[in-house]
Amino acid sequence: MSVPSRLAAFAVLLGLVFGGAVLLGAATDPTDAPVASTGHGDEPGADDAAHGDAAPAVEGDHDRAATDSGAAGHDAHDPAAPAIGGLAVAQNGYALELDRTRFVATGSARLRFRITDERGRAVRDFRVEHEKRLHMIVVRRDTAVFRHVHPTMRADGAWEVDVALPAAGTYRAYADFTTGDGKQTLGADLFVPGDVAPEALPAPRTTDRAVDGRGSTAAGIDVTLDAPPIRAGRVTTLRFAAVRDGQPLDALEPYLGAKGHLVALREGDLGYLHVHPTEGAAHDHGAGADAAPHANETSFAATFPTAGRYRLFLQFKVDGRVRTVDYTVEVGR
Ligand SMILES: [Cu+2]
């Protein structure tokens, strides 16, 4: 084949792959509104490739001290101490061991893994946190795909869960759990081979339309984020209010023991922030006292450790269905 025709064939192939990715995106999120979808719909340009397929992000441990407190105990936390997790596959004596890390793009991939201790034995003594013994978050490294699933543990300590990895790319899988040594968040990369069209981070905006587990926005629920200008290292209260047709929702139904569940990820390394609902005495640090007085609101206290952009994924339940909204926020120095 001549060089020009090879190029032409390549261009056609790119077009096919690109079209496929768009179709996949549409299948999981049919919204074409300019919302920060969970996601897809924002132009999947290749301009963001710089971090789309980053190498495994086992970073230095300058933040380790904040999370390395074995004596921290159950859900003990100091809101003033920035804590970021998920950057290491093994930390604090625990390791995340995945049976496999390569998958095909599919609606349902079976993840199997164990949490092991320093002797390589499967850990089985987990504490219930937010109603589950282990939470698993899976995010494509451009944050365009977000999953939150709850694996089940077999008697031998192996965990299993099905998760949809709808398009090619590198994904970060976080295992978020609590043991007698405190809260742990380990992370490992998953690979879905194929042509990747990394999406740019959505621009910051304060309102997003909720997507349900089927990718539908038909419920017409909009959630607005209200927060003061965010500064690195300071406790910030993030308040979310849900409306439908412009009217405040009557209630946010209990989800994982609270009115909402928030995941915050740092752009660049996908560092996983620990954020805490401000509702309920057990979690109330004062910073968010009476921060969520309305039935349609939920709020969290977060300390963003460094300046830059972060992605927020808020999940809540309305009409019996878990719904997700996402945001990009800028954190100043
Ligand atoms: Cu969970």
- Segments making up each domain of the chain, as ranges: 3-47, 64-192, 207-332
Centre of ligand 1 to C-alpha 162, Å, is 14
pLDDT at 173: 98
52 near 274, Cβ under 8 Å?
no
Centre of ligand 1 to C-alpha 135, Å, is 4
127 near 121, Cβ under 8 Å?
no
Rounded to whole angstroms, the Cα distance separating 21 from 23 reads 5
Centre of ligand 1 to C-alpha 30, Å, is 24
> Which residue pairs from 29-34 have beta carbons closer than 8 angstroms and sit at least 24 positions apart in sequence?
29/211, 29/215, 29/217, 30/215, 30/216, 30/217, 31/209, 31/211, 31/217, 33/209, 33/217
Centre of ligand 1 to C-alpha 45, Å, is 31
| Residues constituting the chain | 333
Centre of ligand 1 to C-alpha 19, Å, is 32
pLDDT at 276: 80
CATH of domain 64-192: 2.60.40.1930
211 near 38, Cβ under 8 Å?
yes
pLDDT at 293: 66
pLDDT at 275: 87
pLDDT at 195: 94
Max distance between CA atoms of the chain, in angstroms, equals 71
244 near 220, Cβ under 8 Å?
yes
Rounded to whole angstroms, the Cα distance separating 100 from 112 reads 7
DSSP reduced 3-state for 21: helix
The tokens for 77 are: 């936390």
205 near 272, Cβ under 8 Å?
no
Centre of ligand 1 to C-alpha 138, Å, is 11
Rounded to whole angstroms, the Cα distance separating 38 from 53 reads 19
pTM comes to 0.74
Centre of ligand 1 to C-alpha 134, Å, is 7
Phi, psi of 14 (to 5 degrees): -55, -45
Beta carbons within 8 Å of 328's beta carbon, 6+ residues apart:
36, 201, 202, 203, 204, 205, 309, 310, 311, 312
- What superfamily in CATH does domain 207-332 come from? Immunoglobulins (2.60.40.10)
Q: Which residue has the tokens 């079976």?
A: 110
pLDDT at 280: 52
Tell me whether the CATH fold assigned to 64-192 matches the one assigned to 207-332: yes
Centre of ligand 1 to C-alpha 254, Å, is 13
Q: Which residue has the tokens 């398009």?
A: 167
pLDDT at 274: 81
Mean pLDDT by 10 residues, the chain (333 residues): 46 45 39 35 34 35 36 41 84 97 91 97 94 96 96 96 95 96 95 95 96 93 97 95 94 91 97 83 44 81 96 96 97 96
Rounded to whole angstroms, the Cα distance separating 182 from 176 reads 11
- Cα 17 off chain centre by: 26
Rounded to whole angstroms, the Cα distance separating 79 from 285 reads 7
Centre of ligand 1 to C-alpha 326, Å, is 16
Instruction: Find the radius of gyration of the CA atoms of the chain.
Output: 20
Centre of ligand 1 to C-alpha 16, Å, is 36
Centre of ligand 1 to C-alpha 130, Å, is 7
Residue type, 224: T
Centre of ligand 1 to C-alpha 127, Å, is 13
CA dihedral over 277, 280, 286, 289, signed as positive or negative: positive
